[in-house]
Structure 1
Amino acid sequence: MTSSDLPVMLFAAGFGTRMGDLTRTRPKPLIEVAGRPLVDHTLDLARAVSPPRIVANLHYLAPLLAAHLAPQGVLLSHEQPDILDTGGGLRQALPLLAAETVFTANSDAIWSGPNPFALLAEAWEPARMDALLMCVPVGQAIGHAGHGDFSRDAQGRIERGPGLIYGGVQIVKTGGLGDFDMPAFSLNLLWNRIGAAGRLFALEYPGRWCDVGHPGGIALAEEMLRDV
């Protein structure tokens, strides 16, 4: 499978509460890092693998994001009146994505190194995987506290545990989303089911990654980019 077969779902609906006053009048994806909106850094990586479509979900301060994304050709999935979380948001966007297997990407991280989308596409094996997550070893993660989200075995399968942080980009099959009867839910529920079936995998990112979900992450990310 080539990366150009897979559309991209960009998660951009959140409230950005960890950013404090910075997100009082603008959505987190429009906060600038190195002179550019945070979301544009992710869009650059996504466009580099030539996806057929890029879709973004919107909720908080949606008109501001729509004005930024629509002229760039990004399709918009508006979540109203309630925000749907990652699982519900992805499920609502499926008609726009028009695919059963998709990339998903958070919009609050900066990557320094190889393109995570391209690495995932190269490693994707749909016969044995239902999801392939790009994860960052704790020692290569900047601006992120904690011991990690997942542990990885020699075959690349992952389970909950220390060692690797989910970096926010994955390839995932969406068929299981219809099994959840609540409108809003996290993709963690889908991952739990996929993991129980032995089909949840991860790659370890070879570069560095910075969490920009909090104010201090802006300066950290800019410093990381200057060090390239």
Structure 2
Amino acid sequence: MMTIDTAMILAAGLGTRMRPITETLPKPLVEVAGKPLIAYGLEALTRAGVRRAVVNVHYLAPLLIDWLSKQAGMTIEISDETAQLLDSGGGIVKALPLLGPEPFLVLNADTFWLEEPGSGTDNLTRMRDRFDPESMDILLMTARLDQATGHTGAGDFILSGDGRLARFKGEGDPVIYAGVIVLHPRIFQAITEPKFSLNRCFDTAESQGRLFGMPMRGHWLTVGTPEAIGEAEAARAGYLGEPVQ
């Protein structure tokens, strides 16, 4: 079993679809059920025993840095992208000196999930246990369409019987990439430009048979617009059997 104790949280996006809320607040600090979106990710990392997180910042960075500085229980380091947004892949490469040469977790700051009650093992621990650096470069957490709130679109990948992922092309039963990755940083070795999307790495790993998926347990939520906040709060309350705040 691998020990993965470092994570990167991708938090540098502009959150343009979340306006007007994000005119004064970075999207990771937008609250759902009284809690900033990024707090759900930090709590998930803490549950899984991850002790160190690197967070990239760009838009309204001082507000996010200030909030992060007040969070106890985990070492949080900042990767500053205020000079230039580097997209999802470039942002991780910029942070590699802080992340190190071993496999690490990557989380989106604006998606979160509810663990399945009584499942015994949280999803990030299951991701860590599933990752095999001998056969995998990238492991994605996946969700079925009926496990998701706020997702628009057909789905992203097809999950084969052996756990490998292939891009969904309209045939078969698609799954959603649910905003969590375990990756080995060797996937970046051939890339020289500073700004690029992680989708490029997904395609490379897929072409080499080294892109895998792990079906999550529980319910996944993505919050892209102001209207989606209420939808997420209602879905959360319904799943957990609680009254809507």
Short-chain TM bin: over 0.9
1:142-200 Cα distance to aligned partner (Å, 9 max, x none): 11111100011100100110511111001001112132121110111111111100010
Size of the aligned set, in residue pairs, is 227
Aligned to 1:106: 108
CA distance in 1, matches of 2:123, 2:21: 27
CA contact (8 A) 1:6 1:99 kept: no
Per-residue deviation, 1:49: 1.4
Secondary structure at the counterpart of residue 179 of structure 1: coil
Aligned to 1:139: 146
CA distance in 2, matches of 1:26, 1:61: 7
Aligned to 1:66: 65
1:114-142 Cα distance to aligned partner (Å, 9 max, x none): 43211201211221111110011112111
CA contact (8 A) 2:137 2:187 kept: no
Aligned to 1:173: 184
Q: Which runs of 5+ in 1 are unaligned?
A: none
1:90 corresponds to which of 89, 92, 95? 92
Aligned to 1:203: 214
1:190 corresponds to which of 180, 194, 201? 201
Return the TM-score normalized by structure 1.
Answer: 0.95
CA distance in 2, matches of 1:185, 1:148: 22
1:21-53 Cα distance to aligned partner (Å, 9 max, x none): 110111000001111111101100011112241
1:123 corresponds to which of 117, 120, 130? 130
Instruction: Kindly indicate whether residue 24 of structure 2 is the aligned counterpart of residue 20 of structure 1.
Output: no
Aligned amino acid, residue 109 of structure 1: T
Return the TM-score normalized by structure 2.
Answer: 0.88
Aligned to 1:42: 41
CA contact (8 A) 2:61 2:82 kept: no
Aligned to 1:216: 227
Secondary structure at the counterpart of residue 195 of structure 1: helix
- Residue identity (%): 39
CA distance in 1, matches of 2:181, 2:187: 16
